[in-house]
A = this chain, B = another copy of it.
Amino acid sequence: MTDKRAVVMLSGGLDSATALAIAKSQGYDCHTISFDYGQRHRAELEAAAKLSKALSASSHKVITIDLQTIGGSALTDTDIDVPEQHQEGIPVTYVPARNTVFLSIALGWAEVLQADAIFLGVNAVDYSGYPDCRPEYIKAFETMANLATKRGVEGDRLYIYAPLMHMTKAEIIQAGIQLGIDYSQTISCYQADASGRACGQCDSCRFRKEGFEQAGVSDPTHYQI
């Protein structure tokens, strides 16, 4: 058993599954956390629970939080359509402060577990225009986190790791394959159907598809058509 403990944010998608496999490969005892926030793509939550087991996490927690009450995103507000063409600038699928809210809850759990690190699967290369996926954001969150908590006050640093930050989708897929991930278990689509099949059209589907092509790996994704 290892002494190093990490909370890993696991959405059920390709990136966070890879972040979990990387944390494990670095010797962390991993505890996964997922969020039920009224997202359209709820099949992700089932995928996350399965991936947590398949990748040998020590525990898995699902936190319910009502972000629909706030609104403002195509991912939680059913009055806003998910676009099927790439848009310039910050996309309508951006959920206001989502990574900040999720990281904050992960921070609370990390404090209870006395964890050394939080891992998350954001990356800046294919980041799709979300401000809270940039390295300077992650660094600022880490600084804040160490001022916010008992652990920080007592002098033990908590680290926020985003190991995929500078990897392309193809590099992420290659790393995950090396670590034994079965990517058919992951769901990236913004509007997957109830059985978790992908639309093949949204930004997230297109990035993923290109990633498998560029990685030279056959795409195991279950598509609706």
The interface of chain A, by Cβ under 8 A from chain B, is 61-67, 69-72, 90, 94-101, 103-105, 107-109, 111-112, 131-132, 134, 136-137, 140-141, 143-145, 147-150, 152-153
CA distance A61 to B71 in the complex (A): 12
Residues in chain B near residue A71, CB distance under 8 A: 112
**Chain A contact surface mostly:** helix
Q: How many copies does the complex hold?
A: 2
Q: Is the CB of B112 within 8 A of A107?
A: no
CA distance A211 to B144 in the complex (A): 30
CA distance A78 to B148 in the complex (A): 24
CB < 8 Å: which of B64, B99, B140, B144 contacts A100?
B144
CA distance A82 to B215 in the complex (A): 56
Residues in chain B near residue A65, CB distance under 8 A: 63-66, 105
CB < 8 Å: which of B96, B108, B109 contacts A108?
B96
CB < 8 Å: which of B61, B62, B97 contacts A107?
B97
Q: Is the CB of B108 within 8 A of A149?
A: no
CA distance A44 to B139 in the complex (A): 35
Other than the known A97-B105, A101-B104, what 14 A-B pairs have Cβ atoms closer than 8 Å?
A: A70-B108, A72-B111, A72-B112, A90-B150, A95-B108, A96-B149, A97-B104, A100-B108, A101-B108, A103-B104, A131-B150, A132-B149, A140-B144, A143-B144
